[in-house]
Amino acid sequence: MTPMTLAVHAFERDGLWATAFAAALDAPLAIIEHGRFPDGESRIRATLAADTTLVVCPLDHPDEKLMPLALALGAVRTLGAQRVVLVAPYLCYLRQDAAFRPGEPVSATIVGGMLAPLIDDLVTLEPHLHRLESLDAAYPAVRAHAVSSAPLLANVLTGDAALADALLAGPDEESERWTAALAVEADRDFIVMRKTRSGDRSVSLDLDASTDVDGRTVVIVDDILSTGGTVAAAARLLKARGAGRVEALVAHAFAGSDDLAALARAGVARIRSVDAVRHETNAVPSAAYLAGAVRSCLGP
């Protein structure tokens, strides 16, 4: 019997991460050709045929990426791929997982419904699952694999002697899921704050009066650093309650330079993020880890 072939496809901008990912899988990497038709539409071409085709695409800045990605997923199918696996180290539009005000869409299920017919499997790192229990609700009929960031982030904690006694802090109820997983993985204590959001850049946090952080080194843990407002508010509260050094460890970082400056002013001494989304705080390589996760998803 001829063995099944495996190939990785990626857009040029993701070439560095995809090269490490493909090397860890011992699979060839092809860069997806992406040009433009004169009217502005994307002109896509895939060039490497394989039975199982992994298409790598971290979906930060998704509005500019989704259409070329959809076309690329269709393109690898035309080359004969029997199994198309979307490897989206960051999966977009999951925070709008409910219509919060009348007239708003449930973006998570709309975007999932657009991509689902084009793929057989989805592999992603630390998706923002809050009101959705699992990715299945947004990606019907897809084998969806949500890979935990806890083992990756735990390496940072266990590899840094200065954080040996660090207390982990989740800034809101949503973060309890990943903070607790990391606490178990790294054998650390954790606390969870309460957050009230009144706008995109406006949050207020609260921490039980009985929680003692005086003099402690605290690592704020979150899945996403977007405007940085959540982590900044958490740092201010921890500092006001007597915490010593405050750092942040996040799976996906997007914050711009003004936001990073505001985080420094709030007392965050260092921010480290996973390199699944390219960002100046990247300090946690993830390609080999996700390749291992993909191997176990694909099976023998």
Q: For this structure, is 195 an active site residue?
A: yes
Map the footprint of ligand R5P across residues 31-50, applying CB under 6 A. none
Q: Is 197 helix (H, G, I), strand (E, B) or coil?
A: strand
**Total residues at the site for ligand R5P (CB under 6 A)?**
15
Residue 128 · residue 94 · CB < 8 Å: yes
228 binds ligand R5P (CB under 6 A): yes
Q: Does 236 bind ligand R5P (CB under 6 A)?
A: no
Among positions 184-223, residues that touch ligand R5P (CB under 6 A) are 203, 222-223
CB-count exposure of residue 80 (10 Å: 0-12, 13-18, 19+): exposed
- Interatomic CA distance for residues 85 and 91, integer angstroms: 14
- Residue with smaller CB distance to ligand R5P, 14 or 223: 223
The Cα–Cα gap between 73 and 235 comes to 42
CA 96 – CA 156 distance, rounded (Å):
30
The three-state secondary structure class of 246 is strand
Among positions 53, 109, 149, 227, the unique one binding ligand R5P when judged by CB under 6 A: 227
Least distance to ligand R5P, CB of residue 256, Å: 11
Least distance from C-beta 127 to ligand R5P, angstroms? 11
User: Which DSSP letter does residue 95 get?
Assistant: S
Residue 127 contacts ligand R5P per CB under 6 A: no
Least distance CB 206 / ligand R5P (angstroms): 15
Is 95 an interacting residue with respect to ligand R5P (CB under 6 A)? yes
Contact between 175 and ligand R5P per CB under 6 A: yes
The nearer residue to ligand R5P, 95 or 245, going by C-beta atoms, is: 95
Decide if residue 174 touches ligand R5P (CB under 6 A): yes
29-31 sheet: strands from edge to edge: 29-31, 6-10, 52-56, 83-88, 121-125, 143-147
Phi and psi of 191, rounded to 5°? -125, 160
Catalytic residue among 128, 145, 195, 279: 195
Would you name the residues annotated as active-site residues? 195
By CB under 6 A, name the binding residues for ligand R5P.
95, 128, 172, 174-175, 203, 222-230
